[in-house]
Each structure stands twice: as C-alpha cells, then as structure tokens.
Amino acid sequence: MVNGRILVIDDEPRMCQFLKMVLSQDGHAVTTASDGVKGLELLKSGIFDVIITDLMMPKVGGMEILEAAKEEDPDSCVIVITGYSTVESAIEAMKKGAFDYIPKPFKIDEIKIVVRKALAQRGLMVENRTLRRQLNVTTLRFGYMIGESKAMQAVYALVDKVAAVDSTVLIRGESGTGKDLVARAIHQHSRRAGRPFVTVNCAALPETLLESELFGHAKGAFTGATMMKKGLFEEADGGTFFLDEIGDIGPGLQAKLLRVIETGEFIRVGETKPRQVDVRIIAATNRNLEEAIAAGTFRSDLYYRLNVVSIVLPPLREREGDVPLLANHFLNRYVHKTGKKIRGFTEEAMAKLSKYSWPGNVRELENVVERAVILADSELVDLRDLPREIAEEPIIVPDAISGVPFKKAVQEFERALILKALREAGGVQARAAASLGLGRTTFHEIMKRLGISANPKGARDDVQNCDAVGQ
C-alpha cells in the first residue's frame, strides 16, 4: 500500500538513493531528481504530497523548488535538507512556506518522523479543501446556511416546502443558531425573491419607537416628527418582512401586528386612514411562546397566526459533523478579510472545536474562529489559538458530590482530582503529583488524609475502582 507520493531532489546521487531506500521501506512511492532543473520538470508533470529538496544546488536551488511546488499545489509540503552553514537560509525557507528543515547529518528516524508529520498535515489540508468545496455546493443552494447533519437536512427540506407558498412562518431556536439566515433563505427561494427583504429586531427598540418603525408616522404625530416617514411594512411591500425576537413586543403592538397579518392593513402613527400592504411575514424567537401565553404576556391568537409553519433550528451541539464545515467556512471568511495565509486547522484543534458544547451556538463559533485567525502565526490554527475553555479539558465535578455539605463536597472533589491524576499517571505517584503542581510530600499527605492507599499497587487499585468518579 502506498502511503505518500514523495519527490526527492538532491544533486548528490547517493543521498537520493539513500532517501529512496529508507522511505520506500515505509510504503511511500519515491521519485528522485538529480538536480533542481529535473526536479522542476517532475513537479510540473506529477502530483506529490511531500517534496524533499536540498537547499544548495547549482542552477536551481531549494528556494526555487519551494516556490514552484507551492505554485503547482498550495497544499504540498516541502522539507528542506541543509548543511549547518545554511541553517539561516533554511529558516528563511520556513518563513516562505516550507514545512520543516533537516540539517545534515541526520538520523533515519528523524527523516521518517518529519515525513510522517508532513503527510499528516498534507492530509488535513486536502480535507479542509474538500470541506470548502462541499460548502460551496451548500451555499449555492441555501445562501449561508451551512451544515450537512441530519438535523440541518430536515431544516432544508422545510425551507424548500415553505418557500413555495406565502404562509406565515415562525422560526424557533436558541440565540446564535442562525434564524435570520433561514428567513433569508426562505425569501430567496420564494416567488418574492426579487422584491424587498426587510428585517427588524423587535427587542432592540422600546415599544413607542418600534411602532413608528413598523408602521411609519405622519408629520407632527409626536415631538420630533418633523416630516412624514414610511414604516418598514411599506418598505417591505411585495416582499418579505422578517420580525426577529417577536416574543419581545408588547400587548399593544401585538394587536396591531395581528391586524396586518389578518387583513394586510395598518395605520401610520398620527393618522386614521388604513393603508394596505402585501407582505409575507416570517417571525423568529428564542423564547417559549407557550409559556408567555400562559403567563398572559403574549396573545394566543397572534401566536396561532404566526405559527402556521414552525421551523425549529437545532443548537450547534446537536448538529453532529457540522462544526468542521462551519469552522472552515468562517476561516475562509476571515482569512480573506485579514489577508493571512492560513489553510486550515490542526487535527487537535478541530477535535477540540468538535467536542465543545457551544452554548452561544454558531455565533460563538464564528467569534472563536475570527479570534483564532487573528492570533495564528502558522498555516494551521492550533490549540494555542483557541480560548482556554475550548483548548483545555474541563474538570467535571462528580454527580456524587451534588447536594452534600460544602466541606464534604470539597473533600470528594479533591479525592476525585487525585484519583484522576493517578489514573492518568498509571499509578505513579511522583508523576501524578507533578501533573498537579504538587510536591511528593504534599501529595502523599493529601492521599493519607483522603484515605487513598499510599502504595503504588493500592493506588492503581483505587484508580481502577474509581474511574467513574474522575470522569
């Protein structure tokens, strides 16, 4: 089985033969070139995952090979071999995009490890590029609604169905799930697509100002109304009106909004003559409207008029497999904005992003990726570029200590922490103490106080019997 396609370029035939023999043993397909000129020809005629090139060669040197390789395939990984006298040039090559450099003489294991790492990065870059192509297909169909999970497929199916009719739609979901994107997608796929798409956040304005924004006002209707103003309903005439955070409007406006939905009529503030509009209404909320109805703060008749078709957006934590797609989408956006040369995420960084619970949903993920792009100083976003709460493993408090007195809870938590450290250290107490930043004497005193066996075997037994406590 071929693991990777490797091109070796060196003007020393023995080095070419040696590297081909060593790397072929690991299952790689190795092609060699005896100078930089032949190396350039091979780069143009074939596809290689990793290019290993000597830095100092006559006619065409390693720097030119690096530039040509990146031009042919931006995802290719170039490893530079250099003598000690040219280490500074090798570092310069790293700044220009080389994956790594290896000074001569080197050990067999050293070149094998670097090649293995280069192939892993190459795989990540290709995977990221594939994800971006998948994103392009999705965005062509649904604007910026990103996701391939079953939960999102169900949303897409509903968007297709409701776009074809003029019924009122209520979009529900937690903050940051992208309710505005769903509303826009419905509009773009409807017969009203060429007409206005108007939005308003009902929670952003006090009720008196919101009424004027929605319905407009006559000149002199109130202090400061020096001229007539059209409302957003008139601006949306013939198109779609998206009312975000509909659960935040007061009772007075609820009655007037109900009239527009039922009759298409409204009255500007300061006027008495009804006006007619033709708008499709899409509303969204993160509130529980059923509870608001029970509490008497939201009209049931308005709720039923809005809730003709309900689309419930899943939180990001329930969208299995969508985090990599979204993360790469936001990465592309902010790489383009900042002009930075970042190609993707390391495997460890993406694993942490996928594992995180995302209480702020897609909006939080976007903010995290923007931050990572700003902080990243290499071609791949790494763990150090992520916020601490995502990059570090959280310490989970055992269920067994909930509802117990404070001192007892602290003791049980302390015990769980010590056992977890011992488990991860394989029962070796010195290593466990070091992982917690404790001296061995202090660690032993804590173990004794908590009744944890002091001998290594006992410590291992305790750890094995208490795995559930530490997890």
Q: Please report, for the domain that includes residue 280, its CATH number.
A: 3.40.50.300
Residue 144 lies in a domain: no
Q: Are residues 232 and 371 in the same domain?
A: no
Q: Are residues 367 and 300 in the same domain?
A: no
Residue 145 lies in a domain: no
**Residue range 422-438, pLDDT digits in tens:** 877 777 788 788 778 78
Domain boundary among 312, 336, 365: 312
Residue 138 lies in a domain: no
Residue recorded with tokens 């001998």: 455
**Residue range 52-68, pLDDT digits in tens:** 998 888 888 888 999 88
CATH code of 423's domain? 1.10.10
Residue 135 lies in a domain: no
Based on the structure, what is the number of domains in the chain?
4
Q: Are residues 89 and 23 in the same domain?
A: yes
Q: Are residues 308 and 341 in the same domain?
A: no
Element (H, E) at 201: strand 197-201
Q: Are residues 423 and 450 in the same domain?
A: yes
Q: Are residues 374 and 230 in the same domain?
A: no
Q: Are residues 17 and 113 in the same domain?
A: yes
Q: Is pLDDT of 250 > 60?
A: yes
Overall average pLDDT of the 307-320 stretch? 94
Residue-range definition of the domain harbouring residue 184: 150-312
Give the residues across from 80 on adjacent strands. Answer: 53, 101
Of 457, 459, 437, 439, nearest to 447 (Cα)? 459
201 within 8 A of 175, measured Cβ to Cβ: no
CATH code of 355's domain? 1.10.8.60
**Residue range 145-187, pLDDT digits in tens:** 888 889 999 999 999 999 999 999 999 999 999 999 999 999 9
Q: Are residues 307 and 243 in the same domain?
A: yes
20 within 8 A of 30, measured Cβ to Cβ: yes
Q: Are residues 169 and 257 in the same domain?
A: yes
What's this model's pTM, rounded to 2 decimal places? 0.59
Q: How far is CA 293 from CA 54, 251, 458, in A?
A: 74, 11, 60
Q: Are residues 164 and 219 in the same domain?
A: yes
Domain boundary among 375, 391, 407: 391
pLDDT cut 70: percent of the chain above it: 89
Q: Are residues 251 and 196 in the same domain?
A: yes
365 within 8 A of 323, measured Cβ to Cβ: yes
Residue 412 lies in a domain: yes
Domain boundary among 259, 291, 312: 312
Q: Are residues 114 and 9 in the same domain?
A: yes
